Chain A
Amino acid sequence: MAKHDTPLLDELEKGPWPSFVTDMKRQAETKPECWDILGQLELSYEDKITHWKHGGIVGVFGYGGGIVGRYSDVPDRFPGVEHFHTVRVNQPSGLYYSTENLRGLMDLWEKYGSGMTNMHGSTGDMVLLGTRTENLEPLFWDLTHDLGQDLGGSGSNLRTPSCCLGESRCQWACYDTQEICHHLTLHYQDEIHRPAFPYKFKFKFSGCPNDCVAAIARSDFAVIGTWKDEIQIDQAMVKEYMAGNIPSNAGAHSGRDWGPFDIQKEVIDLCPTECMWMEGDELKIDNAECTRCMHCINVMPRALAPGKERGATICIGAKAPILDGAQFATMIIPFIEISADNEFENVIDVIEKIWDWWMEVGKNRERVGETMQRVGLPTFLSVMEVDPIPQHVKEPRSNPYVFWKEEEVPGGWERDIVEFRKRHAA
């Protein structure tokens, strides 16, 4: 494959941020296909439009996902990207890698692919970017036999679950996000690899309400760590913060002089529920009023910590805008214990209640959040066998259009108009 002139892309070699163009040129020295990636991208920069054809169903035998087909619409000019299929490889929970494993994957991709990757795709998979159809089966063979790992999901199936790094390096994790993510990924291999759902379904596990994996915005099934007892307070450390001996927010604001730390202004007055106050030099919290937002804990991580009775809140039904607008996940289960001791069977029960129903009533390409909207939250709660509580809504409805059921009304709905007219002349 010939080198192409790329005057537009060359402009992206300038500037302080690392340049993917420079990187791709380096890779092209040993993987000449990269010249054709650059060449076709340069053409898109000239034409201001994509040069990839629509779709192309390719994959490996027995799987309905994990490979995304892609073909160039200018293959004669750029034969190195005539086929440019993506391979999604399921990432380890928490995105940690041994260099041994990463090097093995890179050797595999040098053998079969373009040499370019995304670390990582939006759902969490490692993305190996660009290979030919005839390479897919040999690549899958080597991936499973030599490296002992597997593809992730694509299409109308369970997408590759993902999690924040959790207890591995964060003091705020309220459960072991990596363990449940890994366990359920293995438990649901069939659902990941063989599409059987109305549309995609995503699990994301965040260890605390800071939600570093964006579960509430991006997943159909969001498990967000929380606690049910009292925020732990170390009063001696509160005094250290107040004395200015420890920077607020772990030092996250140290690039600007915001003045001396002011616990009233920075913590107590910013508490959304106003449930904190000073009593002498002691910080007090009315935990019954706390909504566990994390702000005070974020600001004073050495003085405050989540409670000891930890678990998670389950929110259901987030999605991006296509079609009826973006949705955040709706809080359905206020608190659930998350424990490997029962192999997460209580969480699995919740998941399968959703699936059993959604697989029956969900329309083609309807995310579960859209199905929930279509049938209404009261119906969804009854499907989930969850009693409605005020916590399920921001506020009660303001219209009076209640869908009463016949059995809720004394005497039922069957009435006789003749009897009625005997007492009420028309």
Chain B
Amino acid sequence: MGYDPNNPMEGRITDLGPHKYDTMLPPIIKNNKGKWLYHEIPEPGILIHTSSTGDKCYTVRVGSPRLISIEHIREICDIADKYCEGYLRFTTRNNIEFMCDSEDKMRALIDDLKSRGNKFPIGGTGACVTNIVHTQGWVHCHTPATDASGPVKAVMDELFEYFGSMKLPAQVRIALACCLNMCGAVHASDIALLGVHRKPPMIDHERITGVCEIPLAIAACPLGAVKPAKAEVNGEEVKTVKVNAERCMFCGNCYTMCPAMPLADPEGDGIAILVGGKVSNAKSAPKFSKLVIPFLPNNPPRWPEVTDAVKNILETYAKDARKYERVGEWAERIGWEKFFEKCGIPFTEKSIDDYRLAYDTWRTTAQFKYTSATDAYTK
């Protein structure tokens, strides 16, 4: 028997939750849980964990586009069946990890992975650019200001040598969110790509009363830019809203609440770049990413302006930062004025906070460094 549409509640099972994790662990992991002593990264993409039992777990980490097919997952399963006792895992950054209980199996696994074209690049460990955490974009989302999978593919192609090597000063976490809702939570990434809108919402007066709770649409605006209004539709007066465009900061929250207020636009939308965030507590406290490039156009299929900008920031950092220094720690040590100068990024008023609590970011000291930006005063 299966689902019966005539008796939908008959035999229904709910609230099972997920499978218990311990039914999903490979033996080498299950036998050594809580007993691990230390780990080594002998080469990029390879982790060796040593247990107090003497066991060693050999992990091979490979990249993944995250948007993957059932055929691709079946292929991953075939590989795990052959070398990993029928188990595998994913990382929080969408990499795939194959775990072996011997070095011989790991070597055979690596040869196999390398024989499968570019499907399973090995890397993503240590002082590298690991996989880009990202969102849905034009593949599935209704509010995006850019695509996700496409720009990520283009950026990873450009930075590929940094995925499979460990030559950066520290790990560099890149993330992409296709609108300000930030399902990808890019607000604490070393380099964040963020889809942004730049045109205020249009108002579909014909549909608004049918699809919106107007008070919720008004309340959705953090700046009070959405006000009640009346409009004439087919000779009849309808209740609707109006938008004070000068107050709009293009967050898109009104559209989230009201489908009659779309704001996406081919010319208006694009990608902003924020840098210097981190999540880890190591050395310095977690930091937010800061807006350094307010807008780059959507230029599919390969977003060249975006890939160039990311590569420039990454390589300037790689050349200049000290060992262990994250992007944000480097920028703070040299000073943000030096960050802009060294990266050759023009500073604009768009990088000066004028939203709430903005004053915290204004410089209230006579201490600063002279850069080309101060030439007008000094030269």
The interface of chain A, by Cβ under 8 A from chain B, is 8-9, 11-12, 14-21, 23-24, 26-27, 30-31, 34, 37, 41, 44-45, 47-55, 61-63, 70, 84, 86, 90-103, 106, 109-110, 115-122, 129-130, 137-138, 140-142, 144-145, 148-150, 162, 164-165, 167-171, 173, 176, 178, 182, 185-186, 189-190, 193, 209-214, 216-218, 224, 247, 249-256, 258, 266, 270, 272, 292-295, 298-299, 301-302, 320-326, 328, 364-365
Contact = CB atoms under 8 A, between A and B. Distances in A.
A211 B168 CA distance: 21
Task: Tell me what chain B mostly uses at the interface: helix, strand, loop, or mixed.
Answer: loop
Given A12-B154, A17-B121, 9 more contacts: A27-B71, A50-B141, A62-B12, A103-B77, A119-B96, A182-B18, A210-B281, A224-B281, A320-B177
Contact of A254 (B20, B166, B259, B355): B166
Given A16-B121, A17-B65, A142-B2, A189 B15 contact: yes
Contact of B300 (A8, A20, A70, A110): A8
Nearest to A257: B167
Q: Pick the most buried of A55, A142, A214: most chain B CB atoms within 10 A of its CB.
A: A214
A197 to B, nearest CB: 17
B41 A254 contact: yes
B333 to A, nearest CB: 12
B188 A328 contact: yes
Nearest to A103: B77
Contacts of B281: 209-211, 216, 224, 292-294
B86 A100 contact: yes
B149 interface: yes
A101 B24 contact: yes
A207 B220 CA distance: 37
Contact of B17 (A47, A186, A252): A186
Given A17-B121, A55-B142, A321 B65 contact: no
A140 B143 CA distance: 27
B185 interface: yes
10 contacts: A18-B120, A27-B72, A99-B87, A119-B73, A141-B12, A148-B16, A216-B286, A254-B43, A255-B128, A270-B283
B8 A137 contact: yes
B138 A102 contact: no
B263 to A, nearest CB: 11
Nearest to B62: A18
A151 B375 CA distance: 59
Contacts of B26: 96
Contact of A171 (B39, B149, B280, B324): B39
B138 A44 contact: yes
Lowest 7 A-B CB distances belong to which pairs? A252-B126, A15-B157, A255-B167, A54-B259, A320-B182, A27-B69, A48-B266
A18 B64 contact: yes
A149 B49 CA distance: 31
A293 B284 CA distance: 8
Given A23-B71, A130-B140, A18 B63 contact: yes
Given A52-B142, A96-B24, A295-B283, A270 B324 contact: yes
Nearest to B23: A98
B86 A150 contact: no
Given A54-B142, A130-B140, A11 B301 contact: yes
Q: Pick the most buried of A18, A54, A122, A129: most chain B CB atoms within 10 A of its CB.
A: A18
Interface in B165-220: 165-168, 171, 177, 180-185, 187-188, 211, 216, 219-220
A150 B18 contact: yes
B117 to A, nearest CB: 9
Contact of B94 (A98, A120, A249): A120
B81 interface: yes
A55 B182 CA distance: 17
A170 B87 CA distance: 18
A97 B185 CA distance: 25
A251 B21 contact: no
Contacts of B34: 167, 173, 176
Contact of B356 (A15, A34, A247, A325): A325
